[in-house]
Amino acid sequence: MAQRAVWLISREPGTPFCGTVRFSRRYPTVEKRAKVFNGASYVPIPEDGPFLKALLFELRLLDDDEDFIESRDSCSHINKTSVYGLLIGGGELWPVVAFLKNNMIYACVPLVEQTLSPHPPLISISGISQGFELLFGVQDFLSLSQKNDTELNTKLNQLPDLLLQACPFGTLLDANLQNSLDSINFASVTHSQKQPAWKVGTYKGKPQVSISITEKVKSMQYDKQDIADTWQVVGTVTCKCDLEGIMPNVTISLSLPTNGSPLQDILVHPCVTSLDSAILTSSSIDAMDDSAFSGPYKFPLTPPLESFNLCYYTSQVPVPPILGFYQMKEEEIQVKITVNLKLHESVKNNFEFCEAHIPFYNRGPITHVEYKVSFGQLEVFREKSSLVWIIGQKFPKSMEINLSGTVTFGAKSHEKQSFDEICIGGTAYLKLHFRILDYTLTGCYADQHSVQVFASGKPKISTHRKLISSDYYIWNSKAPAPVTYGSLLLSESLCLLSESGEVRNKITSRPMRPSGNSR
């Protein structure tokens, strides 16, 4: 489980090379191992220039890259995993883990401890998941409190020293680079037990363990017979272990109810010391995979001092939490809208908040609204040409609510009105925003009594969980709409988890769950 090389590349459209390598690190000892393991299929790590050109070509980020290329752009080569093969020097450099975030490309080449011809299954290569974890750690470090290019350059200059501690000899020890930064000037303390190189000091105080499960649900709903609705759940388990001792051991268990949806595509933090193989082999990429493991999911670990993400996962839940349809018809300067939303009976009817945002792009300001709403209240933002339906904290007993009305617009003002390249004419959407505390869509929970702590003192154990909407769209069924067919981009899905930094839109691009006929 090691990395052969790591790169940070800034995307710079319009420049001769369309990008610049801002940082690169190679691990010669790992490269020697790769040469032995890969045998005749071994391809050496290239210099930065050829690697930059090959990667931008594969990602279609070159300015003049407009031609169709069979080996890269055909339907049989659709990439769903953010793992690429680069043609360099007559050979293929594989696997290359790469993704684009905020005009910065994060890339690495994991070590594969076997021949590369033919390509082994990705799930059998443990270095890939650690490569993602390393890149996400670097991304979090660079984005933390970054305000300008000067701060970015400062952090890039710190990376060589940080990786010496966080990823020595290409082996990831701690993806939280802030820990390594704090340890550089940390006063050394003598202990009877040897202090591990990756851990900065020890905790002194009241022992406590906090476990938080956050699930984000995405959905694209169309209310059309020829287009299947899609949805996806991505979860993050965040932990904070304040325990005395140099190397305290903790075992955290995640459980599911009898009708819970199995967790899949699980990526764990490097502090996890061992793991049941059944946890790692459950994957959502293969539609024929029947290896779903329904738990309990046990994670024995030696926790770092800081808060850390214990694991990420996806799950194929049978239905989305809220089903709905949205209809909009244009009539000169007016539009008529009809909205129906229904909360699924299995979902907890107790929201922290629930709102439906209805934007009207490429139109003038709202001058008049006539509407009828069966529940909640409607707010009108005239200059922004949008409506916000505030549903509140509960659906009614019927679990179903409706909104209908007519919206009249004034003359367009290109300086003030919102423009959107997709939402032209009747193409429009409603976006749901909601949060439910003490609830997860999969049913996943951490039982306080199942947490085992091997350290001095009896810790206080607290658990929390919540469900949050993310990119939850209901499209106008009376007009064309963009369709999601197989995969989500890594930067969108990981992340899922990344608008707030809690969830990263996923370790690999995962297909959204087709619902079939859900209505």
**Integer angstrom CA distances of residue 397 from 65, 342, 349, 375, 441:** 56, 11, 9, 11, 20
492 phi and psi, to 5 degrees? -90, -40
Q: pLDDT grade, residue 358 (50/70/90)?
A: very high
pLDDT band at 67 (very low <50, low <70, confident <90, very high): low
**Given the DSSP bridges, would you call strands 513-514 and 297-301 parallel, antiparallel or unpaired?**
unpaired
CA–CA distance, 389 with 376 (Å, rounded to integer): 7
Tokens of 88: 């360099």
Note the helical H segments in 322-374.
none
SS3 162: helix
pLDDT > 50? residue 334: yes
Comparing 192-201, 310-319, 393-402, 409-418, the range with the smallest average pLDDT is 192-201
Q: Give the mean model confidence (pLDDT) for residues 199-217.
A: 88
pLDDT at 468 over 90: yes
CB half-sphere exposure, 102, CA atoms < 13 A: 12
pLDDT category at 383 given cuts 50, 70, 90 is confident
The model's confidence at residue 164, banded by pLDDT at 50, 70 and 90, is confident
Mark 239-262 as b/e (b = at least 16 C-beta within 10 Å). Answer: bbbbbeebebebebbbbbeeebbb
Task: Kindly report, residue by residue over 222-247, the tens digit of the pLDDT.
Answer: 999 888 899 999 999 999 999 888 88
Cβ neighbours around 30 below 10 Å, total: 21
Q: How far is CA 227 from CA 24, 73, 484, in A?
A: 44, 24, 9
Q: Residues 6 or more apart from 156 whose CB is under 8 A from it?
A: 8, 22, 23, 142
Q: How far apart are CA 154 and CA 157, in angstroms?
A: 5
**Which tens digits make up the pLDDT trace of 241-294?**
998 888 888 999 999 998 888 898 899 998 898 887 777 776 665 554 555 677
Whether the CB-CB separation of 84 and 98 falls below 8 Å is answered with yes
Identify the pLDDT of residue 489: 32
- What is the rounded CA–CA span in Å between residue 114 and residue 81? 20
Among candidate residues 508, 517, 511, the one with its CA nearest the CA of residue 121: 508
